[in-house]
Structure 1
Amino acid sequence: MEMDKYKEEKQKENVLIDLITKIALIAIATREIAETYFRINFWIDKIKEKPEKEAKSSFLIPEKTKLTFKNIIGFKETKSELKSALEWPLKYKELMENYDIEPINGICLFGPPGCGKTHFVRCAAGEFNVNLYLASPSTIGSMWYGQTEKRIRKLFNEARRNSPSIIAIDEADKLLPKSSGSSVQPRVISEFLQNMDGLLTEKSQTIVILLTNEPWKLNEAIIRRGRVDRIIYVPPPDYETRVLLFKYYMSKVMHNIDENVSFKELGNLTEASQKGYYSSAAIREICRTAKEEAFKNTLSSINKVKISMEHFQIALLKVPPDISTESISKYNEWKMTYASYMLP
């Protein structure tokens, strides 16, 4: 009997010890969770309160460029469209108001990479002698809570204060993308749209130009009348432009070019094919490679070797088309979706 009683007491003791142990473990775990929670919240608060200690950001310093539309080689149609879109609001603002014509608020400049969209904007700013604020997601974006929105406000305020001006956003589709599931992006887009709408309300002489290689990724809220009023395509260079580009990139070595070099023939050799299209950047690379090939021949020769069509043929083998036919089809399809935004 005593033995049974002893076992029963021992069993109760073990159950109690087990219960106390579990309670202790729960208490420890709860404390660790609580401490972790407070540590996380402490740093979240710090991040939210983090002051932005930085020199005046480069995108807040306006560019004053001496470039004009004369510095754009070729691209006759695109140049004409951009000039027409900017001329009225930047040169004839008061006259437009007299006729109750609302100025253009925004322009979307789109097309494949390497075709000079940023160069177009710089030349436009110089042509109309206005301040240019060139920004991108990397210069506006911040890891700190609310700082991206703050930078957007600063950008628009600076541009308004120093108008007439152009705000150009490079890689706009990354700053203003379609819904991504991020909690940050809606705040950024909302801030940008509010400031953009404010330009029209205040009748400010500031125009926003969105630059993008992938316009179909832009948030739908930005591509609508009253915000973006003109869609301008910067395509791969056409035949006339390619010939002019070859002449331009070889202009400093004309004394060193063989008489068999035909710029018109080079324009034909870089025509679009099933392999794709050549960008302006690719044309520049072909010229650079041809010069290098002639230079290498000169190093291994007694006499100076002139740049010939043979050197260009080698360069064409080394520098293939850099824009796919599929991407051009996609650009044309997107362009047709917004055909009414194009100039007649």
Structure 2
Amino acid sequence: MNQPLKKEQLQPQGKAGAGKRLTTSAMIASIAGEGQATRPAPFGHALAELARTRQDIVGMTADLAKYTDLHIFAKEHPERFYEMGMAEQLLMGAAAGMAREGMVPFATTYAVFASRRAYDFICMAIAEESLNVKIVCALPGLTTGYGPSHQATDDLAIMRAMPNLTVVDPCDALDIEQAVPAIAEHQGPVYMRLLRGAVPAVLDEYNYKFELGRAKMIRDGRDVLIISSGLMTMRALEAAKLLHKDSVDVGVLHVPTIKPLDVETIRREAAKSGRMVVVAENHSVVGGLGEAVAGELMRANIRPPAFRQIALPDAFLDAGALPTLHDRYRISAAVMAQDIKSWL
């Protein structure tokens, strides 16, 4: 079940896919658009580089080194790589043991397996003891077309409810590269969503720097404020460019740290008069960034002209090609732009 499906031919929806047949893997596919700049395996390369100067870094996985880009670390630092087999609970228990011995383990698997299958082991063996384990998980939200067994549409809701656990949802290759040393330096357990393989490079042009626990205003706008995390910041920036053609000025506030939330920045930006607030996330509408932001605004008595959510539905999602699914579930840039325009 952990291996990719054979390639399939599916017709993507939307203008970009008109008249084309898309060759894709339903299991693992790049989220990069046609012609978009990418960098290969930013997590694997960043961790391998960090480990050159930090002997306490170890890499661990549950039969998914290749599919979490940890194979790059394993090749360069084989004496500090541990393959635990298809046993996620064992992976988390062993990572806890490593942390107790003074190591900083990076434990990788798929997000569905960490959040669902290994939840109690993370909670009791790692989070309750505030151990220095970094859990890095691929296939977050709708980044695979393999269906509900591998689509982690509820992982943020699960993980942000766990005490002591820092939760990170990076946007692109640069975000991941900078987040790796930052979470390694942080004392305590971290859950980080992972974009793997050929990861788009988007934030380079915005003079962006990742800071754990801080939201960053990527671009300002007078009409709409999109508060986003993960790959949805990438989509928000694309949607902002599309809406600019219709004279709609869109600001994008990137929130790479879901917990602890940068409440001060979110409240300040959402309080600016005249802007509709839209929260965009690659996660279920239940329990993620949208509800976290809505709760903060309500507690602070901040009332924007309108508040909307762009998120995945509270449902088990279909299998298929990612471009088709992103259109269907309204998280593609083109559909986002359409929806925001209709709300104004």
Structure 1 length normalisation: TM-score? Answer: 0.29
Specify which structure has the higher proportion of strand: 2
Q: Which has the higher helix share?
A: 1
Larger radius of gyration: 1
